[in-house]
Amino acid sequence: MELPTAMIIGVDQVRRSFAECAPDAPAVRQVERPPRNRRARVTLARGLIRLARAIAPPEPVCR
């Protein structure tokens, strides 16, 4: 059931992709993104790791 739906969606996306590359297609400028704050990302990642360790189930005593 999913395969026909995926096939239809895939064909549609390929057609759109080739339509964007056509010689008469309108040009779309690339927008430059502002640089991301690395410190905030690192701090958030460390906080998530600490939270994951805090709520993780305890390891078994005997292995």
DSSP 8-state code for residue 22: S
Give me the pLDDT at residue 25, please: 67
Can you point out the beta strands (E) in the chain?
none
Residues 16, 22 contacting (CB under 8 angstroms): no
Give the residue from 12, 31, 9, 32 showing the smallest Cα distance to 20: 12
pTM of the entire structure? 0.40
pLDDT of 63 > 70? The answer is no
Whether the pLDDT of residue 1 is over 60: the answer is no
Residues 8-57 have pLDDT tens digits of 888 888 888 877 777 776 777 778 888 778 888 899 999 999 999 999 98
